[in-house]
Amino acid sequence: MAEIDARLREEVHLLGELLGDTIRTQRGEAFVDKIELIRTGSKAGRKGSAAGEQQLRETLASLADDELLPVARAFNQFLNLANIAEQYHRIRRRRPDEQAPFENRVLDELLQRLKADGHKPEHLARQLGRLDIELVLTAHPTEVARRTLIQKYDAIAAQLAALDHTDLSTAERGRIQAQLRQLIAEAWHTEEIRRSRPSPVDEAKWGFAVIEHSLWQAVPNFLRRADQALQDATGLRLPLEAAPIRFASWMGGDRDGNPNVTAQVSREVLLLARWMASDLYLRDVDRLAAELSMQQASDELRLHVGVHPEPYRAVLKQLRERLRATRTWAEAALAEPLPPGPEVLHDSRELLEPLEFCYHSLHACGMGVIAEGALLDCLRRAATFGLFLVRLDIRQDAARHAAALTEITDYLGLGRYDEWDEDARTQFLLRELDNRRPLLPTHHRPSAETAEVLATCKVVAGAPAASLGSYVISMAGAPSDVLAVQLLLKEAGLQRPIRVVPLFETLADLDNAGPAIDRLLGLHGYRARLHGPQEVMIGYSDSAKDAGTTAAAWAQYRAQEALVEVCRQHDVELLLFHGRGGTVGRGGGPAHAAILSQPPGSVAGRFRTTEQGEMIRFKFGLADLAEQNLNLYLAAVLEATLIPPPAPEPAWRAAMERLAEEGVTAYRAVVREHPQFVEYFRQATPEQELGRLPLGSRPAKRRAGGVESLRAIPWIFAWTQTRLMLPAWLGWEAALGNALKRGEQPLLEEMRERWPFFRTRIDMLEMVLAKADSSIASLYDDRLVSDELRPLGAQLRDLLSQCCSIVLGLTGQSELFAHSQETREAITVRNIYLDPLHLLQAELLARSRQRESLVDSPLEQALLVSVAGIAAGLRNTG
């Protein structure tokens, strides 16, 4: 078996030793011996030793109440340290004889390949410069790590980088290890779990911190490398204003089912983003003012600044004063509404122009080497982040808009909007959109719910256009859903266009997406209000929860095909917004492969997708990691634009239809129709406990009820904690099994070989099956599930086993991930530390269910730590 890289193994071992020393100092040698006994028992048990498994269980069972929390913390901390080492290993220094990571070379290799295929240099440069990729950062209820700990983890990664030199002296190496020892001790003595739920503003600040500490540095570095790759391939450069990847956010704007996100919260988050952007640019401009002390300047710059011995500093000091005025105003406006004064920067051009004057002047005067340094980095940031840092999306459920309009039409004596059919709604909305008079009299007093909808629309109307992204409508299903938002925004005084985006989520809505957009684009006057592309959001989480990933994946694919064709017929540009989560069950998986597997024509230089909570940290938490992931996005969108994947053959399409039909039938037979399923789910998983934990600002449920009322994230998260991973694979075992019985293995192998969509689905299925573990799931059943429900658990584990066997047969392997032994070994090593946490968690759940209250108890803290540790060990958990 291929082993984990020796350098990674050494780093994990070093961090583990330092953690052991820290625990020993606090709790003594006997406790550390007990931890080691648990670890060795777990390791032996994983190798098939019954004695080892028995030792593990007996040692855990013998723990005193006051040992449960520290044992859980020890294994949790080790998994987090292993994650840090693994993350750093991806970006570590390479020896001269080592190949650069795929993520670092993917764009260079793609450009050379495209050039060899006959793409002209000018065409490649134009396409790369025009790419429009937007990553939408979203809050995440399964991001359980506190910000203060994340900062310590980042500092540990920085010390690993410092240690990664062969020429360190003994003293230097000792200082670095002493710093690592201190940081690990700080992490150990810091409480892992927040005591109260974060507010939406807290979540937004967490997103801003990722920009400040990572993306602010990563973006100019990434663009510098992309520019160099383009030069090497074509001799041409990216334009100064090029910003192929930008950022938006749902933190503080996503009010769908979250009563904590209000109009006031959105206003506050917009101002905080303005403050943070001004503060970050001030740091850059202060540095530039110190560096650009040159006297020689172009006539254009001198005309702009007048007679001055240090013209660059003069320009930058003017910009600095305006940035200070902007920051001061934003801070004051947080306390009370305050109109911006004349010195406040209003438009990103006001930020860019002084910097461009300096850049062009330096080049004109033969000082290009200076222009290409920190000044170019600042220009790249300004082009990417603008004055507003991230564009805030607003999201609300279609039912809230319909309820507001029902109240309004009822008040006006026009009848009840919610009782009208689609034609009546559409005609009313179109008439009112064309009407110059207000819809409501000034003395109207709406209910609290309608007042909040209208107040949100007023925030949108009053905010600068560049500070906002899209207005997303959850559970959209008809053209009236879009027109309703346009009318409410018009009523709030909005006089400029904003993208109003229907989100198609359920299986039925995805099937109806093409016809709905066709009707929308055909409505009189709608096109006149459409500035730019028609944006449509595809929901992955709720569609998978509704129908299983087999049917959901195919419905998402077909919906995109239909939308591409509809927009082509209407001669309208299409922008697809992918609502992906971190897990396979929510549309997650490697972004590069996912983009290249989209339907042909669906990625035409534009791509928008969500990046969620824990995955933001894992992909963008360190600047070098962020660079790699931005590079992957850029290369994938360029390749999908210029070399779209093949359209599926008729036989593949027919096979996928059968797989989807049989997959949804099998999935719903369990999740919706089995009379014991809901009760089993609640007993076998920590679903109910997760709802009580302070994981995020949003409630776990949209409303009271069973599985259908659950949000997709806790639904996935609960099954991940027990390692059954049910939502990610249920339905595939029946669909693929039936296909094999029909003798379709050669067809499935052909689809996997030649169709990127199908290959990616099978690859992601294999990944989730490799992380699933029926023996762990059985352990939860043994401790938590009543006798009458255990046969259902056994049945589900049998289906999991069938799914594994079928995937192995389809991929021609003797074991999952046989083609990637390093990945398999990484999962195996993590299991040694995960197994004790699973056993502890099952025990903690059993004990907690026997007590009335756990608030602030050591038992609750230990349970939370077990949740965090399992999430850390499995990475893409929610």
Looking at residue 245, its amino acid is I
Residue owning tokens 């840092």: 389
Per residue in 44-56, pLDDT (tens digit) is 988 889 898 888 8
Q: How far is CA 569 from the centre of its chain?
A: 33
Known catalytic membership, residue 592: no
CB 579 within 8 A of CB 542: no
Collapsed DSSP state (helix, strand, coil) of residue 101: coil
Q: How, if at all, do strands 245-249 and 391-397 pair?
A: parallel
pLDDT at 855 over 90: no
| Fold that domain 394-572 belongs to in CATH | TIM Barrel (3.20.20)
The backbone torsions φ and ψ at residue 301, rounded to the nearest 5 degrees and listed phi first, read -65, -40
Q: Look at the chain and count its residues.
A: 878
Residues 6+ apart with CB under 8 A from 319: 285, 351, 354, 355
pLDDT, residue 602, reads 94
d(CA 315, CA 251) in angstroms, rounded, equals 35
Distances (CA, A) of 60 to 43, 620, 776: 14, 37, 15
Interior CA angle at 372 toward 369 and 378, to 5°?
A: 145
The domain segmentation of the chain, as residue ranges, is 263-385, 394-572, 650-874
Within 10 angstroms of residue 158's Cβ, the number of other Cβ atoms is 15
Question: Any long-range contacts for 223-232 (C-beta under 8 Å, 24+ apart)?
Answer: 223/380, 223/384, 224/376, 224/377, 224/380, 225/107, 225/627, 225/631, 226/107, 226/128, 226/631, 226/634, 229/107, 229/108, 229/111, 230/111, 230/124, 230/125, 230/128, 232/108, 232/111
Per residue in 609-623, pLDDT (tens digit) is 999 877 888 889 889
CB 260 within 8 A of CB 252: no
Q: Model confidence at 1, in pLDDT bands (50, 70, 90)?
A: very low
Q: What is the DSSP letter of 371?
A: I
Distances (CA, A) of 502 to 108, 289, 600, 698: 37, 46, 22, 21
d(CA 817, CA 282) in angstroms, rounded, equals 49
Question: Any long-range contacts for 423-429 (C-beta under 8 Å, 24+ apart)?
Answer: 425/478, 425/480, 425/483, 425/484, 426/479, 426/480, 426/483, 426/523, 429/480, 429/483, 429/484, 429/486, 429/487
pLDDT at 662 over 60: yes
Per residue in 205-224, pLDDT (tens digit) is 989 999 999 999 999 999 99
pLDDT at 713 over 80: no
CB 878 within 8 A of CB 612: yes
pLDDT at 585 over 50: no
pTM of the model: 0.92
Exactly one of 545, 578, 619, 838 is catalytic; which is it?
Answer: 545
Q: Model confidence at 378, in pLDDT bands (50, 70, 90)?
A: very high
Residue owning tokens 């894992």: 618
CB 615 within 8 A of CB 876: yes
3-state percent helix, strand, coil for the chain, nearest multiple of 5: 65, 5, 25
According to DSSP H, which parts of 131-262 are helical? 147-163, 170-188, 200-210, 216-234
pLDDT at 84 over 60: yes
The H or E element that residue 297 is part of is none
Mean residue pLDDT of the chain comes to: 90
Exactly one of 43, 140, 490, 838 is catalytic; which is it?
Answer: 140
Secondary structure string (H, E, C) spanning 140-169: CCCCCCCHHHHHHHHHHHHHHHHHCCCCCC
Report residue 275 as tokens.
């403050």
| Count of CA atoms in the C-beta half-sphere (13 A) of 726 | 29
Within 10 angstroms of residue 492's Cβ, the number of other Cβ atoms is 17
Per residue in 663-679, pLDDT (tens digit) is 999 999 999 999 999 99
Per residue in 675-690, pLDDT (tens digit) is 999 999 999 999 888 7
Q: How far is CA 720 from the centre of its chain?
A: 17
Collapsed DSSP state (helix, strand, coil) of residue 245: strand
Per residue in 253-268, pLDDT (tens digit) is 999 878 999 999 999 9
| Fold that domain 263-385 belongs to in CATH | de novo design (two linked rop proteins) (1.20.1440)
Known catalytic membership, residue 545: yes
User: Which has more pLDDT, 622 or 143?
Assistant: 622
d(CA 320, CA 327) in angstroms, rounded, equals 11
Mean pLDDT of the 276-293 span: 97
pLDDT at 145 over 80: no
Please say whether the dihedral angle defined by the alpha carbons of residues 734, 736, 737 and 743, taken in this order, is positive or negative. positive
Judge residue 362's burial from the number of C-beta atoms within 10 Å of its C-beta, 0-12 exposed, 13-18 middle, 19 or more buried. Answer: buried
pLDDT at 641 over 80: yes
From the list 264, 274, 146, the residue with the least C-alpha distance to 200 is 264
From the list 343, 359, 348, the residue with the least C-alpha distance to 382 is 348
Per residue in 350-366, pLDDT (tens digit) is 999 999 999 999 999 99
The backbone torsions φ and ψ at residue 602, rounded to the nearest 5 degrees and listed phi first, read -85, -20
